[in-house]
């Protein structure tokens, strides 16, 4: 429940994309937010206030002068209660009003009265969006502190293809989560996370790899982003959607990952290496597909670079390095040995033999080791484990 105890006001204005806001409101409610929806009169022609009332279990406000709200002086009470206002879809007309302080209905009045963060998601025909008047108004809103959600491109309701679509509900919710879900304890901190497996090519058809799904690393990247960090996610091939608002650097082999880490390192304050990097790769990579020829095949393998080993040698002062250790036996002894050998500040140890830990699953059981400490965490979701790991890193850094 990432939005528990958060009050989100959604302002829906009169564009066809208003229909997407039903899903958005519902998703925000499911995340625990107290959601209030205000519609303009034109919005209420596209989608019924009853839809929002049913989904949010609250009165949907349209008329400034209606007397049946749960609040006295509703526009001021609601403006004060709001932790965030999301105006979506924001039509050119309402953007123009907001940019000039016009408050002639419930929605524009609440927005004008609110001091909380405000997001506006423009949604309209491409020509209207690109009109310099609209662009000027959007620039004015940015100056006044609004965050403008970039419109998506594609087939518009009018039949044109171009910029101006309201992004999908999940994307809008992502913007709200980034602003509200966590305290910004990592604001301005640059976090680099490696995740997933590497693939070591044998020929154009085959490769050596491992079972890493990338879930743990992606969860860490998301949690760090929510805490305000500037996140770089260096990821081997996975089936996951990367979290929003992180810089994704896709890599394939251990060699690629090594180059990406070397490049990111000077701009990194915290390095978390959750990737399962191959320790060996085929010594020869065939240019053409290897053909079978009756007998058995023996493959010579060579060592890959130990990325953390390199980091240990070249790390800059102030860099915090957290490694991961996956073992099938002697978990703590082996992990502590890696902590020392690779000069890590911390290592998260997990055993493939523990139920609920390891590859592919959504849970993990990790033990956080430092030079003089050991914290055993119980079975929890990878999202929760990511949060506990970052708590430990933040505590250690301070
Ligand atoms: N790692 C790395 N470069 C490699 C291999 C591993 O940076 N070529 C990192 C992993 O991302 C992880 C940590 O080292 O954070 C531990 O990985 P692991 O494979 O368990 O450790 P090794 O030192 O390779 O030990 P062993 O293979 O003996 O278990």
Q: What is the pLDDT of residue 268?
A: 98
Say yes or no: CB of residue 273 within 6 Å of ligand 1. yes
**How is domain 190-278+298-397 classified at the architecture level of CATH?**
3-Layer(aba) Sandwich (3.40)
Alpha carbon dihedral 272, 330, 238, 376, in 10-degree steps, equals -50
> What does 118-159 look like in DSSP terms, one character per residue?
EEEEE-S-HHHHHSHHHHHHHHHHHHTTPEEPPPEEEE-TTS
Nearest atom of ligand 1 to the alpha carbon of 347: 15
Q: What is the Å distance from ligand 1's center to 375 Cα?
A: 21
Atom number of ligand 1 nearest to Cα 303: 8
- Contact call for residues 119 and 84 (beta carbons, < 8 A): yes
258 Cβ inside 6 Å of ligand 1:
no
Distance (Å) from CA 129 to ligand 1 centroid: 50
Burial 67-93 (b: 16+ CB within 10 A, else e): eebeeeebbeebbeebbbbbbbbbbbb
| Number of other CB atoms surrounding residue 336 within 10 Å | 18
Q: Which atom of ligand 1 is nearest to the CA of 322?
A: 15
Atom of ligand 1 nearest to the CA of 311: 7
Quick check: CB of 231 below 6 Å from ligand 1? no
Contacts of 27 (CB under 8 A, 6+ apart): 169, 170, 173
The predicted pLDDT at position 248 comes to 98
Residue 293's pLDDT is what?
86
CA of residue 306 to ligand 1 center, whole Å? 7
Determine the pLDDT at residue 23. Answer: 98
Ligand 1 close to Cβ of residue 178 (< 6 A):
no
Closest-lying ligand 1 atom to the alpha carbon of residue 338: 23
Say how many C-beta atoms besides its own lie within 10 A of residue 327's C-beta. 16
How deeply is 360 buried, as exposed, middle or buried, from its count of CB atoms within 10 A (0-12, 13-18, 19+)? Answer: exposed
Positions annotated as catalytic residues are: 158
Residue minimizing CA distance to atom 12 of ligand 1: 324
- With 0-12 / 13-18 / 19 or more C-beta atoms within 10 angstroms meaning exposed / middle / buried, residue 313 is exposed
Pocket test for ligand 1, best of 306, 310, 344, 358 (most atoms within 8 A of CB): 306
Question: How are strands ordered across the β-sheet holding 367-370?
Answer: 247-250, 230-235, 190-195, 270-273, 320-327, 346-351, 367-370, 373-376
How many angstroms separate the alpha carbon of residue 325 from the centre of ligand 1? 7
Q: Round to whole Å and give the CA distance between 174 and 32.
A: 14
Closest by CA position to 64, among listed 99, 27, 38: 38
Q: What is the pLDDT of residue 146?
A: 98
- CATH 3.40.50.10300 location in the chain: 190-278+298-397
Alpha carbon nearest to ligand 1 atom 21, residue: 325
Ligand 1: centre distance to CA 370 (Å)? 17
pLDDT at 66: 65
- Report the C-alpha gap between 297 and 170 in whole angstroms: 49
Q: Are 366 and 350 in contact (CB under 8 A)?
A: yes
Helical segments of the chain, H only: 20-30, 43-46, 49-56, 74-81, 92-99, 106-113, 126-130, 132-143, 169-180, 215-226, 254-264, 307-314, 331-341, 382-397
Name residue 208's beta-bridge partners.
200
* CB-based contact 62:106 (threshold 8 Å): yes
What's the distance, CA 176 to chain centroid?
11
230: how many CB neighbours lie within 10 A of its CB?
19
Q: Where are the alpha helices (DSSP H) in 145-274?
A: 169-180, 215-226, 254-264
In the chain, CATH 3.40.50.1950 covers 7-180
pLDDT, averaged per 10 consecutive residues of the chain (398 residues), comes to 96 96 98 97 96 96 69 76 98 98 95 97 96 98 98 88 94 98 97 98 97 97 98 98 98 98 98 97 95 90 96 94 94 95 95 84 94 94 97 95
For ligand 1, atom 8, name the residue with the nearest CA: 306
| Helices and strands (H and E) in the chain: how many | 14, 21
Quote the ligand 1 centre to 277 CA distance (angstroms): 6
Domain 7-180: assigned CATH number: 3.40.50.1950
Is the CB of 254 inside a 6 Å radius of any atom of ligand 1? yes
Could you tell me the distance, in angstroms and rounded to a whole number, from the CA of residue 367 to the centre of ligand 1?
16
289 phi and psi, to 5 degrees?
-60, 130
Report pTM: 0.93
Nearest one of 329, 325, 328 to 337, comparing CA atoms: 325
How far is 322 from 328, CA to CA, in rounded Å?
20
Kindly state if the Cβ of 304 falls inside 6 Å of ligand 1: yes
pLDDT confidence of residue 77: 86
Q: Is the CB of 326 under 6 A from ligand 1?
A: yes
* 3 state SS of 215: helix
Ligand 1 pocket member 365 (CB < 6 A): no
* Residue 353, pLDDT score: 84
Taking residue 371's Cβ as centre, other Cβ atoms within 10 Å add up to 11
């Amino acid at each position: 429940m990432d939005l528990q105890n958060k009050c989100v006001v959604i302002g829906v204005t009169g564009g066809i994309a208003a229909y997407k806001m039903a899903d958005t409101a519902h998703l925000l409610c499911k995340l625990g937010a107290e959601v209030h929806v205000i519609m303009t009169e034109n919005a209420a022609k596209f989608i019924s206030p009853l839809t929002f009332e049913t989904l949010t279990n609250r009165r949907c406000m349209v008329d400034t002068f209606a007397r049946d709200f749960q609040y006295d002086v509703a526009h001021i009470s609601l403006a004060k209660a709001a932790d965030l206002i999301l105006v979506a879809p924001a039509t050119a007309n309402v953007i123009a009003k907001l940019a000039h302080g016009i408050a002639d209905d419930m929605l524009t009045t609440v927005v004008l009265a609110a001091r909380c963060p405000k997001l506006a998601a423009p949604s309209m025909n491409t020509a209207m969006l690109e009109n310099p008047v609209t662009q000027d108004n959007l620039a004015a809103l940015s100056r006044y502190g609004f965050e403008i959600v970039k419109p998506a491109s594609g087939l518009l309701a009018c039949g044109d293809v171009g910029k101006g679509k309201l992004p999908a509900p999940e994307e809008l919710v992502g913007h709200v989560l980034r602003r509200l879900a966590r305290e910004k304890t990592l604001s301005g901190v640059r976090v680099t996370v490696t995740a997933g497996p590497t693939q070591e090519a044998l020929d154009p058809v085959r490769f050596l790899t491992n079972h890493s799904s990338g879930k743990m690393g992606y969860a860490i990247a998301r949690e760090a982003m929510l805490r305000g960090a500037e996140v770089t996610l260096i990821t081997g091939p996975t089936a996951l959607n990367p979290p929003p608002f992180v810089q994704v650097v896709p890599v394939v082999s251990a060699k690629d990952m090594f180059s990406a880490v070397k490049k990111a390192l000077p701009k990194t304050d915290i390095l978390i290496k959750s990737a399962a990097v191959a320790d060996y790769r085929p010594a020869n990579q065939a240019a053409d597909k290897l053909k079978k020829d009756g007998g058995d095949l023996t493959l010579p393998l060579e060592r890959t670079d130990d990325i953390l080993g390199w980091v240990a040698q070249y790390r800059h002062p102030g860099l915090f390095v957290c490694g991961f250790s996956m073992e099938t036996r002697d978990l703590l002894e082996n992990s502590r040995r890696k902590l020392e050998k690779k000069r890590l500040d911390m290592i998260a140890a997990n055993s493939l033999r523990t139920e609920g830990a390891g590859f592919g699953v959504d849970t993990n059981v990790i033990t956080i080791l430092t030079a003089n400490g050991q914290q055993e965490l119980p079975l929890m979701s990878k999202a929760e484990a990511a949060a506990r790991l970052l708590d430990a890193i933040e505590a250690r850094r301070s």
